[in-house]
Amino acid sequence: MATKKTAPAKKAATKAKTPRGNGGEPQYQSGGTHPTMTTAQGIPVPDNQNSLRSSPRGPTLLEDFILREKITHFDHERIPERIVHARGSAAHGYFELTKSLSKFTTAKILTEVGEKTPLFTRFSTVAGGAGSVDTPRDIRGFAVKVYTKEGNWDIVGNNAPVFFIQDAMKFPDLVHAVKMEPDRGFPQAASAHDTFWDFVSLMPESMHAVMWAMSDRAIPRSLRMMEGFGIHSFRLLNAKGESTFVKFHWRPKLGMQSTIWDEAVKLQAADNDFHRRDLFEAIDRGDYPEWEFGVQLFTQEQADKLPFDHLDPTKLIPEELIPVQIIGRMVLDRNPDNLFAETEQVAFCPANIVPGVDFSNDPLLQGRLFSYLDTQLSRLGGPNFHQIPINAPKCPFANHQRDGHMQMEVPKGRVNYEPSSLEDDSPRANAKQGFRSFAQQDDGVKGRVRAESFADHYSMPRMYFHSLNETEQAHLASAVVFELSKVGTPHVRERVVAHMRNVDPDLGQRIADGLGMAKLPPAIAPAAPIQDWEPSPALSIIENMKDTLQGRAIGILVADGSDMDSVNKIKIAAEKAGASVKLVAPKLAIKAKGGAQVAIDGQLAGTPSTIFDAVASILMPEEAAKLAKEAAAVDWFRDAFGHLKAIAACKGTQQILQAGGITPDGGVVDPKEVKEFLELAKTRQWAREPNVRTLC
């Protein structure tokens, strides 16, 4: 990733000051009289943007009572539902290591090749409540609990490798802003409203995550087709105590795929549980979802040469700079037995790591290490939530923790302290086997400061935007226009466009044109020079889609008199290629050609084409003529065509296409052309899009 224009910014000096306008100090509107912010005890708050650190790039200090009070209150605001990631779907499975990292770590889970270790994975939306739907535009949670021999290891990430804020101090503000507005209680599970965009428009550091949230990554086709990222840099420690930085990646075996925005909206009405159902049914029929587990490994020397700070959670490391090495796989092969007991009660925490893994000084990660445990104390009733079966380690464990609310164990003996000499089997610390932290020197001066190396907020989102192909860029621009069209405050819309001009001048102009702005607002002065980096081709979804029918779903519309021999030719060939097939008809049973009674998988009005990746139709002319007057049938094809799906339409079906105003293109073929249809069904018909919708 060569720098074309401006040389990389130098790393922060020890006594770095907070750059103005870099997200460390928001750009507030002038005017008004604001009371001094205080803690709940009335103590004036000097800085509400930065946690107290030992140095600009050092760890967050536990003595930061302002941070602890703020996050503690936030963690306990709502019970028992999760404040974020409330709506989740999950499954059991296993992790298998395929390549040892014994050179870099002592962690057995990363050194014992071929070992299968049980795990539990939960996917979730962020903004909505537990009763919201699966398919809104939102970042998705991607959390994995691995029950290792050395204790539970939680890799708690998202389907985006970056986050909206650099410091945990701002997490309550971010979530307050994106949640439904407190005076009116809406919108639910959406970011298209004033408070979210007001917040991010005042936090330039949010621009990169905003780009991911507005991209097709935020409307995935399936949970089985999402990437997962650990987000932060962690450390691996070997037997010598030597440290190597690491970032964690999950890559779906099925490849990535997303929905079209109009399709995502209609899926909310068609099936509130679309993603949950898709995951459950895939596992139920034996199509076990699988992800490759990859790592980016890099030294301190390599980190120092990057043109950005890897400790900044709003930055990713392009794999063209540091490749992703595949070292294992995750397979999900069993559905939960009980949604509440497992999916809802599972408690993840990024502080749950095993010997041989350690934390970095990422300031967002440092705050998360406290926040998750604090939240779980409230959600799950007290300090013994680890005894709930889904949370309990599967390896031996022993300590002197006793009593407390919901204590389910019956400890024996008189010793509940250490050191002791009264019992030979009393647990004791073990310096040899115990967890070790990396011995990092820190000679900085503590203070509420943000490193100057965190100040560049536009180069990375610019790189991300330029890594997308033209179709994806148009989708992103249109998504921002849609979101801002729901924002009623003009100066907020203008401020977002001002940021987008820094990301890419053309993008800013396209958004302004889409909103009908009479005048383009001036770009906001960046806190650090904006750099032009080489695009990262690996970040595009469309350019990296797999040429496969694995995981895809095909719907075939039939009615009385349909030729089941023709239907079965498509069905058998599609299933052989790895797709799932459902028959759809006006009723749940038909009399096929020859008089045979055929059971149907889905009734037409309740099984729209939005739930399929491609559709086919084999109808007698007289039945097609009836359906051409049926709105559900016309919409079935109109939506499939508008959502760029391959269509196999018999001669009779042409009547329905005409009723829907559909002019067939290269993505519409005869059902007899089974091979051609299934080849088209592997992807969307992107060439069709300019003919069916206007994008920015």
Higher pLDDT, 409 or 27: 409
How far apart CA 75 and CA 372 sit, in angstroms, is 8
Residue 250's DSSP bridge partners are: 228, 293
- Catalytic residue at 338? no
Is 241 within 8 Å of 436 (Cβ atoms)?
yes
In this structure, how many other beta carbons lie within 10 angstroms of the beta carbon of residue 334?
Answer: 15
Average model confidence (pLDDT) across the chain: 92
pLDDT in tens, 36-95: 878 777 778 888 889 999 999 999 998 898 888 888 778 877 657 888 999 999 999 999
Q: What is the pLDDT of residue 29?
A: 53
333 has a pLDDT exceeding 70: yes
User: Annotated catalytic residue: which of 22, 50, 152, 158?
Assistant: 158
How far apart CA 121 and CA 119 sit, in angstroms, is 7
How far apart CA 261 and CA 267 sit, in angstroms, is 10
Higher pLDDT, 517 or 375: 517
Helix (H) / strand (E) element for 264: namely: helix 261-270
Q: What is the pLDDT of residue 3?
A: 45
Q: Which two tokens stand for residue 149?
A: 């021999």
Q: What is the mean pLDDT of residues 231-256?
A: 97
Is 477 within 8 Å of 514 (Cβ atoms)?
yes
Maximal CA-CA distance, the chain: 90
Q: Which two tokens stand for residue 616?
A: 């086919």
- Catalytic residue at 85? yes
Single out the residue of 143, 175, 189 nearest to residue 74, CA to CA.
175
Q: Which two tokens stand for residue 669?
A: 């073929």
Q: How many CA atoms lie within 13 A of 433 on its CB side?
A: 7
- Torsion angle, alpha carbons of 663, 667, 673, 674, to 10: -130
Single out the residue of 148, 98, 86 nearest to residue 120, CA to CA.
148
209 has a pLDDT exceeding 80: yes
User: Annotated catalytic residue: which of 85, 193, 275, 643?
Assistant: 85
Cβ partners under 8 Å of residue 130, min gap 6: 81, 82, 86, 87, 344
Q: Domains of the chain, with CATH numbers?
A: 65-387 (2.40.180.10), 454-542 (1.20.1370.20), 548-692 (3.40.50.880)
How far apart CA 277 and CA 184 sit, in angstroms, is 31
pLDDT in tens, 397-439: 888 888 888 888 898 899 888 888 898 888 888 877 888 888 8
How far apart CA 198 and CA 150 sit, in angstroms, is 45
